[in-house]
Amino acid sequence: MTKLTQIARARAGEITPQIAAVAKKELVDPEVIREQVATGRIVIPANIHHPSLEPVGIGRSLKTKINANIGNSTLSSCPKQEIEKLKTALSYGADTVMDLSTGASITSIRQAIIANSTAPIGTVPIYEALSRVNSSEDLNDKLIVDVIREQAEQGVDYITIHAGLLKAQVPMAKKRKLRIVSRGGSIIAKWMMTHDRENLYYTNFDKILEICAEHDVTISLGDGMRPGCLADASDEAQFAELGVLGKLVTRCREADVQVMVEGPGHVPLDQIEMNMKREQELCDDAPFYILGPVVIDCAPGYDHITSAIGAALGAFHGAAMLCYVTPKEHLGLPNAEDVRNGVIAYKIAAHAADVGLKLPEARKRDDAISDARAEFDWEKQFDLSLDPARARQLRDEALEEQEITEEPPKDGKKQYCTMCGPDFCSMRISAEL
């Protein structure tokens, strides 16, 4: 079988159109991208059946990427709402989108999402597999492999599989405060205990690799043992699984399949750097894709903030992609406005890390908006904002509250803000020095 994957072609010395596109976006020499794709330190999720895809490179030497999760549940949402969430996520800057649907019409929803997305689409195949049986105990090898094959043929660019959670690790989770909070991880753990068998993702891993190699589906090795609270962070269960994931990274690369590794979770600030370095060591610097981390557990409703703090630190210390968290995390299924808030929070986190890492032109936007502030050029400030609509809305609200209009003043300068007013505007005063 001819290998069509980005990693195989890069190893053969080819600068693929996808590699060239990523190099142009990242302002990097295409040969540099090719070399890192060849070694597996950069992945470009690009299923050959996703023709509208605009390639995205994921690796810690590149700009930090963010992912937005959407998808229905068994209790709420519909295909129309999921497409609205998709468009919201893309419009505010999500680099990839995962369809985590667990309710009705999973296949048709995913097809619509792929058809409407220029960004790579990811899934968690076990959700669809579980929807086809009466309970998790009824899952079987053939069903898992069939679902992965169907999703690959449909155009899914990357799949999360919890292949590193082995039967021997389950007793470790029983010592935790919250045991297993990963949906996929809990399903696998219960199946293993019920049947007294090893993880069926793990035992079928070679078959899964064959499917992914055929369609160039990137594997995202899920962290089924990710900590769900600060008390469980960095424990033996988490790192036992990470050690297995490192070995699976090697198997993926040997099969010419692109691979990245998923990470925690809930982690205190002082443990984030260690977690990032540990993954680089155990997984041979495969791109690290982290959820948050959430740095405190006591702020439900604000977890887009508690996690963005950890995400910025994680990206600064080596994470390649951040999975957003919305205000509804731990509370309910996010709607389009929650998606917006989650994406913006994570664009801020990713950008802060990129500025701190001094990536090429990372600070260009910040310097431009500073110039606009000095010039009292409000429209330019809005245009350079990560969320122009929100910036305009807040400016309008402030003016309305003070009954101020935007009529040009006699001195030709733009209107001051209502925080300081005309007499205490520091920038206006200092401009006159």
Candidate from 131-140, 274-283, 373-382, 415-424 with smallest mean pLDDT: 415-424
What is the rounded distance in angstroms from the CA atom of residue 300 to the CA atom of residue 291? 16
What's residue 412's pLDDT?
46
Find all residues with CB under 8 Å of 370, minimum gap 6, and list them.
none
169: helix, coil or strand?
A: helix
Find all residues with CB under 8 Å of 46, minimum gap 6, and list them.
6, 18, 53, 55, 120, 157, 216
Find all residues with CB under 8 Å of 43, minimum gap 6, and list them.
6, 7, 37, 57, 58, 59, 218, 258, 259, 260, 287
What is the rounded distance in angstroms from the CA atom of residue 388 to the CA atom of residue 266? 31
The terminus-to-terminus CA distance of the chain in angstroms comes to 72
Q: How confident is the model at residue 78 (pLDDT cuts 50, 70, 90)?
A: confident
* pLDDT per position as a tens digit, 143-159: 999 999 999 999 999 99
* pLDDT per position as a tens digit, 241-291: 999 999 999 999 999 999 999 999 999 999 999 999 999 999 999 999 999
| H/E element, 138 | none
Query: What's the token pair of residue 234?
Result: 């960095």
Q: How confident is the model at residue 410 (pLDDT cuts 50, 70, 90)?
A: very low
* pLDDT per position as a tens digit, 22-73: 999 999 999 999 999 999 999 999 999 999 999 999 999 999 999 999 998 8
Query: What's the token pair of residue 68?
Result: 């937005």
**pLDDT of 405 strictly over 70:** no
Place of tokens 């001195």: 411
Yes or no: is domain 45-356 CATH 3.20.20.540? yes
What DSSP letter does each residue of 208-271 carry, written as one string? HHHHHHHHTPEEEE--TT--SSGGGTT-HHHHHHHHHHHHHHHHHHHTT--EEEEE-SB--HHH
**DSSP tag of 287:** P
Candidate from 155-164, 179-188, 424-433 with smallest mean pLDDT: 424-433
Phi, psi of 337 (to 5 degrees): -70, -35
Average pLDDT value for the chain: 94
What percent of the chain lies above the pLDDT cut of 70?
A: 96
What's residue 2's pLDDT?
56
* pLDDT per position as a tens digit, 114-126: 999 999 999 999 9
Query: What's the token pair of residue 53?
Result: 């895809």
Query: What's the token pair of residue 356?
Result: 């701190």
What is the rounded distance in angstroms from the CA atom of residue 248 to the CA atom of residue 243? 9
**Contact in structure between 242 and 283 (CB atoms under 8 Å):** yes
Domain boundaries, the chain: 45-356, 364-431
Q: How confident is the model at residue 423 (pLDDT cuts 50, 70, 90)?
A: confident
What is the rounded distance in angstroms from the CA atom of residue 135 to the CA atom of residue 374? 62
What's residue 55's pLDDT?
98
Residue 149's nearest CA partner among 100, 200, 214 is 214
What's residue 340's pLDDT?
97
